[in-house]
Structure 1
Amino acid sequence: MCVGLRLAGAEVSQVYISLPSSAGEPPKRLVGFQKVSLNPGAAQTINMTIDPNAPNHPLGTWNKDAQQWTNPAGSYSVYVGNSSRSLTLAGTITQ
């Protein structure tokens, strides 16, 4: 994501994931964010990696019967923006 500001300040890029509907989870889950400080007129490209096997289980749900985290199979929607109400990029991944 490329972020830019007209005045000196900071911008926070946020990544949200929607799990497959079979997971029965809320519509969006914040799975990553990064704050960058910018000078007036500056822009910066940032990269964020969302690891499905990370300790915070960004793509997982708790399976109480198996007593373990599982990542549901299916399509995940990915959204990027500077708030949950301003998501300017979107895509889909399949697992």
Structure 2
Amino acid sequence: MPQFLFKVLEVQTVDGQSSDKQLINRVASVDAEVIDKDTGQIICHAVFDVIFNDDGVFPSVKSINAIDAPKYIKTELLFRSKRYIKRLRKWL
């Protein structure tokens, strides 16, 4: 059973192309580590971007797919990183 550990390294504000000033996009650089609970070995380690605003949280699918890991790990990274940033976006 893998354990997923996340850490936000940096948050940047991105200038929007639209005229809507309420929609402010931010990009969080997330450091993710997947560890096997039984053996304690690192399955994979990755740093990828997650874009978030008031409308939602959008992990970079392209960056996650570039990771050398099994497909179920990539899928879990996608969903768990989204949930992690969604809970923290008030404070980021």
TM-score of the alignment, normalized to the shorter chain, above 0.5: no
Higher relative contact order (CA 8 A, sep 6+): 1
Q: Which has the larger radius of gyration?
A: 1
Richer in strand (by share): 1
Pick the structure with more helix per residue: 2
TM score, norm. by length of structure 1: 0.29
